[in-house]
């Protein structure tokens, strides 16, 4: 924009004397003057010089001021170019003609320098405001465009992460607005190695990018863990921990997560803050709500997080519905909310189960009418199906995995030179917890391994007597002796053998520990398994409690503990 003291001003007047006066006045105000003798010249000069303000005589030969004004306004387009008509016309009709042609003001003859100066200043101010507005409008449009582009890219990235699952499986239907992630809604579904389907519907507080930001770690954590076979509580804990760490206070994620066991026809449900999902039973048309019993994800610190779930038995053909609060909070023109009651009425109508999904959507849309949609609707339906009827993208991979049991074993020996410095427990525990179904038992496994190993090392290899530990003073003595013996030991060994076996129902872990010591009279211990008291021998009691069996072999220098578990989901 030009400085107000130096504008380009076009003066069009066919009377030489009048034009001369105007040119002089305008030039003396410090502006640059362009002159035209008629309308045609005025339009031509306008195109060439793009003046900021036009002073236009109404009556001119060739092309009069009215036509010239129309053409100039057309050429100016978006830009504001004030046109001031120079006229001594007084009648209403003529003045209206000037304004209709695009004129912004009049200057009557005789010309008055002070008034012309004030008008130029005022129009220049208006031009400035207008240009600022146009610039800001363009910037706004640009920002909006960029926001849309960014959202599109973000959505693509998110879709690539979120849709790597089984949302397109044959028994799944869902309804999500195309930009639902920017509404804070997220749906992820995946098949576990054991054939169960895990579905999570989340609703982040807020809208736009802040709401979408948490969806990414949620989805990637979900898929990363579900495919590896982690249990629902592991997945929930991990997501809760991540969200708690990254989301600011006040931003969290209401969510329902369901583990669908198609083989056992059982649901394991965790609902934190979402409206109750529904089980629609095909047999009698009854519905069972799955209500929220927890706080949303991302609220509680890790140690306070509760992962206990509800279990529901279902039949093939039953349909499970999950939704965010978009349906419940959909408003009609009067501002009433759709609410759970109206939702239940849709079920009560007793439509064919296959139609319920569409009925709900239709009913909500009908209710809203032309009212504004506060929140987008997100809904998902999962039909209980025979496992063999499920068709989803990674079907074959999963099928192969779930049928084949997993078995492995390993042997491990600790040499005498390492007794003092090497602790085999973290190493073993690392290997064991690579198996997803053992991960939940790492505490128990540590206790068992620690007890068996220290017994083998201390009572076996080092031949320390457990009787010493019966008094607090003996306890100290015991450890002094242990240090002394460890520092000079040159022979002996501890063998550890681990056998892992699992299938769809559960599995077992066999641990055998053999030491180079002389053993002990294990027959004498029979019968008082849990009755051992005092400091010594307490450990093995816990092992016996944790394991299915604990047996001694040979001279008592070999022990075998079998740890077993059942897959409950």
Partner 1 sequence: MSVTQHLSYDVLNSLQEIMEDDFGFLIETFIQDSQDRLEKLHRLIGSDDFDSVRRAAHSFKGSCSNLGALRLVSLCAVLERKALVKDIANLGIDLAEIEEEFLIVHQKMLDFIA
Q: Which residues bind partner 1 (CB under 8 A)?
A: 14-18, 20-21, 24-25, 28, 59, 86-89, 109-111, 113
DSSP label of 555: T
3-state secondary structure labels for all residues of 154-178: HHHHHHHHHCCCCCCCCCEEEECCC
Are the beta carbons of 560 and 495 closer than 8 angstroms? no
d(C-alpha 556, C-alpha 551), whole Å: 9
Q: CB of 116: closest distance to partner 1 in angstroms? A: 11
Q: Among residues 61 and 301, whose Cβ is nearest to partner 1?
A: 61
Give CA separation, 172 vs 187, 199, 301, in Å.
12, 10, 33
Nearest Cα to Cα of residue 447 among 522, 516, 303, 545: 545
Q: CB of 14: closest distance to partner 1 in angstroms? A: 7
Q: Among residues 24 and 467, whose Cβ is nearest to partner 1?
A: 24
d(C-alpha 170, C-alpha 345), whole Å: 27
Q: Where are the beta strands (DSSP E) in 401-517?
A: 406-414, 494-503, 506-515
Q: CB of 49: closest distance to partner 1 in angstroms? A: 23
Residue 537's SS3 state is coil
Nearest Cα to Cα of residue 569 among 264, 332, 173: 264
Q: CB of 6: closest distance to partner 1 in angstroms? A: 19
Q: Among residues 106 and 522, whose Cβ is nearest to partner 1?
A: 106
Strands 53-57 and 83-86: what pairing? parallel
Give the DSSP H or E segment for 549: strand 549-553
Q: Among residues 17 and 566, whose Cβ is nearest to partner 1?
A: 17
The label of the residue with tokens 């095909």 reads 282
d(C-alpha 213, C-alpha 217), whole Å: 8
How many other CB atoms are there within 10 angstroms of residue 322's CB atom? 26
Q: CB of 33: closest distance to partner 1 in angstroms? A: 13
Residue 263's SS3 state is coil
Q: CB of 108: closest distance to partner 1 in angstroms? A: 8
Strands 379-383 and 319-323: what pairing? antiparallel
Q: Among residues 33 and 154, whose Cβ is nearest to partner 1?
A: 33
Helical H segments across 369-406, by residue range: 395-403
Q: CB of 20: closest distance to partner 1 in angstroms? A: 5
- Residue 41, both tokens: 């010249």
Q: Among residues 24 and 145, whose Cβ is nearest to partner 1?
A: 24
Residue 215's SS3 state is helix
Residue 353 CB burial class (10 angstroms; 0-12, 13-18, ≥19): middle
The set of residues, in sequence order, having a beta carbon less than 8 Å from that of 510 and lying 6+ positions away, is 497, 498, 499, 501, 560, 561, 562, 563
Q: Among residues 34 and 85, whose Cβ is nearest to partner 1?
A: 85
Q: CB of 129: closest distance to partner 1 in angstroms? A: 30
Q: CB of 148: closest distance to partner 1 in angstroms? A: 55
Q: Among residues 118 and 126, whose Cβ is nearest to partner 1?
A: 118
Q: Among residues 109 and 125, whose Cβ is nearest to partner 1?
A: 109
Q: Among residues 110 and 527, whose Cβ is nearest to partner 1?
A: 110
Q: How many degrees, rounded to 5, is the angle at CA 276 between CA 371 and CA 295?
A: 105
Q: CB of 113: closest distance to partner 1 in angstroms? A: 6
The label of the residue with tokens 């969200």 reads 243
Nearest Cα to Cα of residue 212 among 187, 185, 189: 185
- Residue 414, both tokens: 């600790």
Q: Among residues 28 and 545, whose Cβ is nearest to partner 1?
A: 28
Q: CB of 63: closest distance to partner 1 in angstroms? A: 14
Q: Among residues 90 and 487, whose Cβ is nearest to partner 1?
A: 90
d(C-alpha 252, C-alpha 300), whole Å: 10
Q: Among residues 107 and 299, whose Cβ is nearest to partner 1?
A: 107
Q: CB of 59: closest distance to partner 1 in angstroms? A: 5
Q: CB of 38: closest distance to partner 1 in angstroms? A: 12
Q: Around 139, how many Cα atoms within 13 Å sit in the side-chain half-sphere?
A: 6
């Amino acid at each position: 924009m030009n400085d107000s003291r130096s504008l380009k001003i076009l003066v069009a007047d066919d009377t030489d004397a009048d034009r001369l006066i105007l040119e002089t006045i305008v030039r003396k105000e410090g502006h640059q003057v362009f002159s035209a003798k008629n309308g045609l010249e005025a339009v031509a000069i306008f195109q060439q010089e793009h003046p900021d303000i036009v002073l236009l005589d109404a009556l001119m030969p060739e092309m009069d001021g009215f036509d010239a004004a129309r053409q100039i306004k057309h050429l100016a387009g978006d830009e504001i170019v004030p046109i001031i008509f120079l006229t001594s016309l007084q009648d209403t009709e003529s003045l209206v003609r000037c304004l209709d042609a695009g004129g912004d003001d009049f200057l009557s003859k005789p010309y008055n320098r002070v008034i012309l100066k004030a008008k130029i200043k005022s129009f220049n101010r208006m031009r400035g405001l207008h240009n600022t507005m146009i610039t800001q409008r363009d910037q706004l449009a640009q920002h909006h465009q960029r926001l849309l582009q960014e959202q599109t890219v973000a959505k693509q990235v998110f879709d690539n992460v979120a849709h790597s699952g089984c949302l397109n499986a044959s028994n799944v239907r869902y309804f999500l607005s195309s930009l639902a992630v920017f509404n804070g809604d997220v749906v992820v579904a995946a098949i576990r190695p054991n054939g169960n389907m895990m579905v999570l519907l989340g609703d982040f507080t807020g809208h736009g990018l802040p709401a979408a930001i948490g969806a990414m770690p949620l989805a990637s954590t979900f898929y990363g863990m579900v495919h590896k076979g982690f249990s629902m509580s592991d997945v929930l804990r991990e997501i809760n921990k991540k969200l708690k760490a990254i989301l600011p206070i006040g931003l969290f994620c209401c969510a329902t997560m369901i583990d669908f066991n198609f083989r056992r026809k059982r649901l394991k449900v965790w609902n934190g803050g979402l409206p109750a999902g529904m089980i629609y039973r095909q047999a009698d048309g009854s519905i069972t709500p799955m209500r929220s019993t927890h706080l949303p994800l991302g609220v509680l610190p890790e140690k306070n997080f509760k992962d206990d779930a509800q279990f529901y038995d279902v039949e093939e053909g039953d349909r499970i519905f999950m939704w965010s609060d978009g349906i419940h909070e959909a408003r009609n023109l009067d501002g009433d909310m759709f609410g759970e009651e109206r939702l239940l009425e849709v079920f009560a109508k007793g439509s064919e189960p296959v139609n319920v999904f569409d009925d709900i959507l239709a009913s909500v849309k009908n209710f809203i009418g032309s009212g504004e949609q506060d929140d987008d609707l997100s809904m998902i339906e999962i039909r209980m199906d025979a496992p063999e009827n499920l068709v989803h993208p990674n079907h074959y991979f999963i099928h192969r995995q779930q049928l084949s049991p997993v078995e492995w074993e390993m042997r491990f020996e600790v040499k005498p030179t390492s007794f003092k410095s090497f602790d085999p427990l973290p190493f073993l525990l690392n290997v064991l917890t690579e198996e997803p179904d053992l991960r939940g038992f790492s505490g128990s496994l540590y206790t068992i391994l620690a007890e068996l190993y220290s017994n083998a090392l201390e009572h076996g290899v080092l031949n320390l007597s457990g009787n010493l530990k019966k008094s607090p003073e003996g306890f100290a003595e015991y450890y002094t002796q242990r240090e002394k013996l460890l520092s000079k030991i040159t022979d002996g060994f501890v063998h550890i053998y681990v056998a892992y076996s699992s299938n769809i129902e559960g599995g077992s872990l066999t641990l055998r520990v053999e030491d180079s010591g002389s053993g002990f009279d294990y027959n004498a211990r029979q019968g008082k398994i849990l009755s051992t008291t005092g400091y010594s021998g307490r450990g093995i009691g816990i092992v016996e409690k944790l394991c299915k069996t604990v047996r001694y072999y040979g001279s008592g220098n070999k022990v075998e503990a079998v740890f077993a578990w059942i897959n409950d989901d």
